[in-house]
């Protein structure tokens, strides 16, 4: 593996572990020349999952793009990056286990909302405010009221 910092081809593996329920391997490496450390992932290649956008445009599913939105919603909240990665993996797994190779962007957004609902209420509201494009305070209050009712019914 080539070092991403200095380009040296001699690197050593310091630690390997299975991730994503054994479907991928995470390796911690160190460059023999510059001694910097970096992480690589090995994952089997699957057929692409295509996301159909609202306007009909199609693009390949990107977990990193989805995670970026989740990370923004979870910013400054007591949620670890591991929890966010696990949630993103669960979403991707659910989408890939379907028989269809295409999924609508609204299905992805709703799946993210479901995961965030379980992780953190503030992150859920942050993501919902961008995803559902609240036009005014009334729409925002309706979403908050729905969240309160949902939480209340879960406690009973």
Average pLDDT for 6-20: 93
Domain-by-domain residue ranges, the chain?
1-45, 50-155
On whether the pTM is more than 0.75, the answer is: no
At 156 the pLDDT is 57
Q: What is the DSSP string of the chain?
A: ---TTT--S-EEEEEEEEETTTTEEEEEEEETTT--EEEEEEE---PPPEEEPTTS-EEE--HHHHHHHHHHHTTTSS--HHHHHHHHHHHHHHHHTSS-SEEEHHHHHHHHHHHHHHH-HHHHHHHHHHHTT--SHHHHHHHHHHHHHHHHHHH-
The confidence score (pLDDT) of residue 62 equals: 94
Q: Give the rounded percent of residues in the chain with a pLDDT score beyond 70.
A: 97
């Amino acid at each position: 593996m080539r070092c991403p910092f200095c380009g040296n081809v001699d690197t050593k593996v310091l630690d390997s572990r299975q991730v994503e329920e054994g479907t991928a391997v995470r390796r911690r490496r160190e460059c023999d020349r510059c001694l910097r450390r970096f992480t690589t992932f090995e994952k089997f290649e699957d057929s692409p999952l295509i996301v159909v956008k609202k306007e009909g445009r199609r693009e390949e599913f990107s977990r990193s793009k989805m995670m970026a939105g989740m990370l923004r919603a979870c910013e400054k909240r007591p949620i670890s990056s591991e929890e966010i990665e696990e949630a993103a993996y669960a979403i991707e797994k659910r989408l890939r286990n379907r028989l269809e190779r295409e999924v609508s962007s609204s299905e992805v957004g709703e799946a993210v909302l479901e995961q965030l609902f379980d992780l953190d209420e503030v992150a859920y509201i942050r993501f919902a405010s961008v995803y559902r494009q609240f036009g005014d305070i009334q729409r925002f209050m309706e979403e908050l009221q729905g969240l309160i009712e949902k939480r209340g019914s879960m406690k009973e």
